[in-house]
A = this chain, B = another copy of it.
Amino acid sequence: MLTYSFENKGSDSLYEFLYKKIIEDILACRLAPDEKLPSKRALAKHLSISTVTVENAYNQLVAEGYIYSKPKSGYYVCRISSPVMNTGSLKPAYESRSEDSEDAFCGVDLAMNSAARDSFPFSVWTKLMREVMADKSELLTVNSPSTGVRELRCAISDYLFQFRGMKADPDCIVVGAGTEYLYSLIIQLLGRQKRYALEDPGYRKIAQIYRANNVSFHCIPVDKSGVEISALENSRADVLHISPSHHFPTGIVTPVSRRYELLSWAEKSPDRYIIEDDYDSEFRFSGRPIPSLQSIDHSGKVIYINTFSKSLTSTIRISYMVLPEELMALYKKELSFYACTVSNFEQYTLSAFIRQGYYEKHINRMRNYYRNQRDTLMSEIKKHPLFGRVQIKEEDAGLHFLMKVDTPLSDRELIEKGRQKGIRLTCLSEYYHKHSSADRHTLIINYSGLPREDIKRAVGLLFEVI
C-alpha cells in the first residue's frame, strides 16, 4: 500500500502533502494508469491520518484529473501522457531591481515632453477621492457604461463648451484609459482596411500604434499651414490624423482657411474622417485657445480626441473622444460590449475635479508655470555669449519650442555628444518619416518637465554641445 513519511511535509497541510506525493507517484509511473488506489479508510488507517484528510486529497486529485472514481468501486489512476511536472515549492528568486533602474537617466532631460512632476494638486485630488468614496459608494460598484460614467461625460461636455467653445453631446463622448487606447478603438470603429494619413513630421507614437495594429498609413508632408492638401489627395487616404491647433513637434497652428480645405476634403467621400488630436490646446500662452476643427465641422467628419494625462499628470490615465453622431451610433452597435477602461473611482474624482472648478484653476496655474518656465529658459539662452549661433522658432504655445543651431555636427552626433555631457536631446529630424534635409540641426526643447533649478545648467550644457 502507498506509504509516505509525513516528516518532510514542511508547511504543507497533511492533505496537501499527501496529494503532492500521490501526484509524484503517478507522474513517475510508480502508480500505473487504471491502477486501483486503496480505499479512503484503508489508506487513512495505514498512514495514521484521518479519513477526511485522505478524502480531501482524493477529491483534489479527481478535480485535477489525476485520478477518477467509479461509483461503488473506488478510485483509479488516470492515463496521463506527458510525465513532466513542476513540483517546485521553493520560492523562485528574481533579480532584485529598484523601480528607478527602469529609468536610469539622471542628467538634464530636454527630450521628454512630460508634465511638470510636482505640479499635480495632490491634496485636492485626495480630498475629492475621499469625498467620492464617502458620497458615491453606491455608484462606485455600478458598472460604468462602455463610454464612461455619465457624470464625467457631462463635466467634459460643459468644460469643452465653456473653455473650448465646443458643442459636444455627453452621449457622443467616449472615455478611455489614454489616447493610445482610444486610437485602437477608432481603428476598430472605422475599419482596419481604411487608409490612414499622418503628419510628417509627427508624433512618433501614432505611427507606432498604427503599425502595431497592422493598419496601412501614409505620411503627408506638413507645410507652414499644416498637412499639404494636394499630397493628402494624392495619398488616397480615408482617415487623416492631425493636431491642427498645435502640431508636434513644429508647433504649427493650422489656419482657418486650411481647416476648411481639410473639412472639404473629408466631405468628398462618406469614408473620410479626420481625427483631431487636441492634446495640449490648453497651454496656449497668448489669447484664446485656437477653436477646434470639431467646432466648425457641420458634416460629422471630425473625431475630437484629448487627454487629461497631459494636462493633469501622465500617471493618471484618462482620455476622451467626441464622436460624430453617426459614428457614435456605430460605436453603440459594434463596440459597446467593451467595458470602460477607467475605474469608477477616478472617473468620479475627475468629474468632481472639473465640476468644482479645480481643473480650470489647475490649467491656469500650469499655463503660467509653463510660460514662466519658457521665459526663464529663453532669457538664459539670450544671455549666453553663443546666442548668435541659435535661432528660436515657435515659442507661443505648448510645452516645447524649436531651436535651430549653427553647428558642424550631424543630428546624431549632437544627440550623442549631449548624452556624454549629461543632457538628453532630441532633434526635429527624428520625427520625420521620410527624411528631409530642410530641418536638420533643429533641436526640440521640451521644457515642461525641466526642474526650475536645472534651467541654468541645461542652457550651459546645451551650448557646450552645439
Interface residues of A (CB under 8 A from B): 16, 19, 56, 59-60, 63-66, 78-82, 84-86, 88, 91-92, 94-95, 97-99, 102-103, 114, 117-118, 120, 122, 125-126, 129-130, 133, 137, 139-145, 149-151, 154, 157, 161, 165, 167, 169-171, 177-178, 180-181, 184, 188, 192, 204-205, 208-209, 212-214, 225, 253-261, 263-264, 286-288, 290-291, 295-296, 298, 309, 313-318, 334-335, 337-346, 396
Contacts and interface: CB of A to CB of B under 8 A. Distances in A.
B337 A317 contact: no
A141 B315 contact: yes
12 contacts: A59-B287, A66-B255, A80-B257, A84-B296, A94-B157, A140-B315, A141-B313, A192-B213, A204-B337, A205-B337, A317-B343, A343-B343
Given A65-B256, A103-B145, 4 more contacts: A86-B167, A126-B129, A129-B133, A181-B181
Nearest to A257: B80
Contacts of A85: 296
B253 A103 contact: no
A253 B296 contact: no
A337 B208 contact: yes
Nearest to A318: B343
A97 B153 CA distance: 12
A393 to B, nearest CB: 15
A82 to B, nearest CB: 4
A133 B141 contact: no
Nearest to A96: B154
Nearest to A296: B86
A181 B341 contact: yes
A6 to B, nearest CB: 18
Given A141-B120, A345-B346, A261 B81 contact: yes
Contacts of A345: 315-316, 346
Given A171-B94, A290-B63, A315-B143, A346 B346 contact: yes
A141 B167 contact: no
A339 B150 CA distance: 25
Contacts of A339: 178, 180, 309, 314, 317
Contact of A122 (B133, B295, B335): B133
A334 B342 CA distance: 24
B317 A341 contact: yes
Contacts of A122: 133, 137, 140
Contacts of A340: 317
Contacts of A59: 286-287
Contact of A288 (B16, B82, B255): B16
Nearest to A101: B150
